[in-house]
Structure 1
Amino acid sequence: MTQQTMIDSRTDLRREQAFAAAIGPSCPTTPSYTEALVDPGGVFRTPAEVAEHPWFSHEEKRTVLLSWARDELVLEQVANRSLPELKPRSRIDAVIAALSRFDPGAASEYRAAVRSIRAQHPRRSSGGALKKLVKAKIIQREVSCITL
């Protein structure tokens, strides 16, 4: 660990401790920067909450949103490859919108990546394809049971 990283970590810890002391024991503590980096979707309800977080610096918000964008992009890619008939509950569009406030270049790159993923597996507007898939699987299972 570099000396600058150690100094930054100590500064972050002091800032979080000062905040916890200021709000008192009766109030819930604010999420730490590290927690937000590891699981941004679990720490914040929406990407807008990250953008409006009062204790994170501009750079910290950008980094958390980049982490969240990466996670959501992977989720979207896996869902589109595995079950393109389903509409994944990805928040990538909202994350990119929040990220564009802090890093327009990165937001643009993520938008291009999302377009590419969605172009590979266009989503269907109705659940008809999913119903057909489920029905085919049920029929296939029934037929295999009968032939055994």
Structure 2
Amino acid sequence: MTDNFDLDQFLHPAHAFSHPSEVVDDPDLTLNEKRAILASWASDACAVEAAPDLRLGPRSPVRFDAIMDALRQLDHQARRSQQNYRRLVRKKRLGGLLRSGGNDQGQPLQ
């Protein structure tokens, strides 16, 4: 078995993707990893005109607007995930209250 480990992709993960939407859709990356890749891409897109090597990766240049759209999409996903988590916590709390008789007083002391 041979490992196809690409050191460049490890050191520069934005080079492994051709468009910011691919980063957003990657199921193997955490939210923070996705943000880091997109932030790196945004930094490259905003690099000074006098140093085009800083702006262009091995693939075609990515529009700054596409990067910002991807970051907004990540923000939306994070908010939705946080809302779902809060709903789940409320549902569990409510379920516990209903099972215990609806009051949060506990059992009387004997």
> Normalized against structure 1, the TM-score is what?
0.35
Q: What TM-score do you get using the length of structure 2 for normalisation?
A: 0.46
Larger radius of gyration: 2
* Larger RCO, structures 1/2 (Cα 8 Å, 6+ apart): 2
